[in-house]
Amino acid sequence: MSSPNSAYPDTPEAQDKPKRQEWPLWEVFIRGQHGMSHRHVGSLHAADEEMAIKNARDVYTRRNEGVSIWVVEARHIAASSPSDKGPLYEPSESKVYRHPTFFDIPDEVGAM
Amino acid sequence: MAAVDQAHLFTFLCRMGDNTLVLGHRVSEWCGHAPVLEEDIALANTALDLIGQTQMWLGLAAKVEGKDRTADDLAMLRDVWDFRNVLLVEQPNGDFGQTIMRQFLFDAWHLAMLTALTKSTNADVAAIAAKSVKEVQYHVERAGDTVIGLGDGTTESHQRMQKALDLLWPYVGEMFVPDPVDDAMAAAGIAPDLTDLRGDYDALVASVLAQATLKTPEGSFAHKGGKSGFQHSEHLGHLLTQMQWLQRAYPGASW
């Protein structure tokens, strides 16, 4: 027996209910008042990209954080695998000469 | 231009403020109950926008009245018969679709009204309208998109949206029927002639409802009695018992 449709007793409950589908996940990037780059601030669910931008506006810019919003569906982001951490990042640990800390900065240059 | 009757101006300002107060409270009832987290936050934002606008409208109303009342006094210490909101905004939330339909039908009027009020001859009114209109542009866009999404959605969501539209449509007319207060505002250039707003409203609503595959109900019957205070629906009294409870039980309580 289907449960009564409480909001609309007169509207029959659909017999073959579609399986509840979650909206896709979107990653949200906001450019703040004083920054050139968009920074990842979090994620949310939305049915399409326009709704994702509106939701991002409501969820992540309530306190005047942003001047621009990017959203991208999470499945479109290619990410490095955590298990590759060793081969990917550890080789650079021993290469301190890649940091520009071995130069004497002439005084005339001033603060950098 | 003749000086405007201050009692009429007070009534007009109460109408603007009571619309946003009552609808703001209604929308806030969703807080923690919306179908998804994102909608919950969006609805709370909308409610807060409306309550913020209420502070400005009722604050100005209290100043115009000149009886040492504050915006809080007007919001929390008047009874049903002194409220001047249209009947549409006091209607119950129903399901999410009904809430969104009510929001869209009001937002579309609100946007047209505020846009016109930015050119008001009363500088205070124009300033409040200029601040509010940016918020309401977003409200109408969001509500309209959701009406389209649900109307042109599944069989069930479509049915529910059509039902909500059929239920709420008879409350649209009241927003456009001028009475002596509206005539006085229009004559003084404080507010537009309400009948002038109908064309843009109908065009916007028709376009959204068409995209939503919803059918505008026939007939022009309009419930009346909200903005005149003559006959609010029973729902407003119930709303006030919740909204005003704290000030009634603990008079003068403050943060």
Residue with tokens 């009948």: B195
Q: Cα separation of B105 and A84, whole Å?
A: 54
Residues ≥6 apart with Cβ < 8 Å to A96: none
Q: Is A30 helix (H, G, I), strand (E, B) or coil?
A: strand
Looking at residue A20, what is its pLDDT? 63
Q: Cα separation of B109 and B140, whole Å?
A: 9
ipTM over 0.85: no
Say yes or no to pLDDT of A5 above 80: no
In a domain, B1, yes or no: no
Crossing angle of helices B96-117 and B37-65, rounded to 10°: 40
Looking at residue B119, what is its pLDDT? 97
> What is the percentage of chain A residues whose pLDDT exceeds 70?
80
Q: Give the model confidence (pLDDT) of B131-164 as tens digits.
A: 999 999 999 999 999 999 999 999 999 999 999 9
- Bridge partners for A45 per DSSP: A25
Residues ≥6 apart with Cβ < 8 Å to B117: B125, B126, B128, B129, B191, B192
Say yes or no to pLDDT of B2 above 60: no
Q: Give the model confidence (pLDDT) of A24-54 as tens digits.
A: 999 999 998 887 899 999 999 999 999 999 9
Say yes or no to pLDDT of A2 above 50: no
Of the listed ranges A100-104, B32-36, B147-151, the least confidently predicted one is A100-104
pLDDT bin (cut points 50, 70, 90) of residue A9 is low
Residue with tokens 């909500």: B164
Give the ranges where chain B is alpha helix by DSSP (H). 6-28, 37-65, 71-76, 87-90, 96-117, 123-151, 155-168, 180-187, 194-211, 234-243, 245-249
Say yes or no to pLDDT of A10 above 70: no
Q: Give the model confidence (pLDDT) of B187-246 as tens digits.
A: 999 999 999 999 999 999 999 999 999 999 988 899 999 999 999 999 999 999 999 999
Residues 126-155 of B with CB under 8 A from A: 138, 141-142, 145, 149, 154-155
Query: What is the biggest distance separating any 2 CA atoms in chain A, rounded to whole angstroms?
Result: 84
For residue B217, the Cα-to-chain-centroid distance in whole angstroms is 21
Q: Cα separation of B55 and B60, whole Å?
A: 8
Considering only CB atoms, which chain B residues are within 8 Å of A46? Answer: 38
Say yes or no to pLDDT of A56 above 70: yes
Residues 43-82 of B with CB under 8 A from A: 45
CATH classification number, A21-78, choose in 3.40.50.2300, 3.10.20.520, 3.20.110.20, 3.40.50.720: 3.10.20.520
Give yes or no for a contact between B69 and A87, defined as CB atoms under 8 angstroms apart.
Answer: no
Q: Give the model confidence (pLDDT) of B65-108 as tens digits.
A: 999 999 999 999 999 999 999 999 999 999 999 999 999 999 99
- Bridge partners for A40 per DSSP: A29
Looking at residue A1, what is its pLDDT? 40
- In a mutational test of the B interface, the residue from A8, A17, A25 whose CB has the highest number of chain B CBs within 10 Å is A8
User: How far B204 CA lies from chain A's nearest CA (Å)?
Assistant: 19
Across the beta sheet with A25-32, the strand order is: A39-45, A25-32, A66-73
CATH no. for residue B20? 1.20.1260.10
Q: Is B234 buried (19+), middle (13-18) or exposed (0-12) by CB count in 10 A?
A: exposed
Domain count, chain B: 1
Residues spanned by the domain of B169: 6-249
Exposure b/e, B149-169, CB count within 10 A at least 16 = b: bbbebeebbbbbbbbbbebbb
Say yes or no to pLDDT of A15 above 80: no
Domain edges within chain A = 21-78
| Candidates A11, A50, A58; nearest CB to B163 | A11
Of the listed ranges A82-91, A96-105, B148-157, B167-176, the least confidently predicted one is A96-105
CB pair distance less than 8 Å for A54 and B159: no
Residue A18 in contact with partner chain B when CB distance is under 8 A: yes
- CA nearest B121: which of B62, B196, B195, B188? B188
Residue A101 in contact with partner chain B when CB distance is under 8 A: no
> What is the chain B residue with the closest CA to A57?
B42
CB pair distance less than 8 Å for B42 and A55: yes
Looking at residue A35, what is its pLDDT? 79
Residues 40-69 of A with CB under 8 A from B: 44-47, 50-51, 54-55, 57-59, 62
Looking at residue A103, what is its pLDDT? 78
| Candidates A7, A13, A23; nearest CB to B95 | A7
User: How far B153 CA lies from chain A's nearest CA (Å)?
Assistant: 11
Give yes or no for a contact between B237 and B248, defined as CB atoms under 8 angstroms apart.
Answer: no
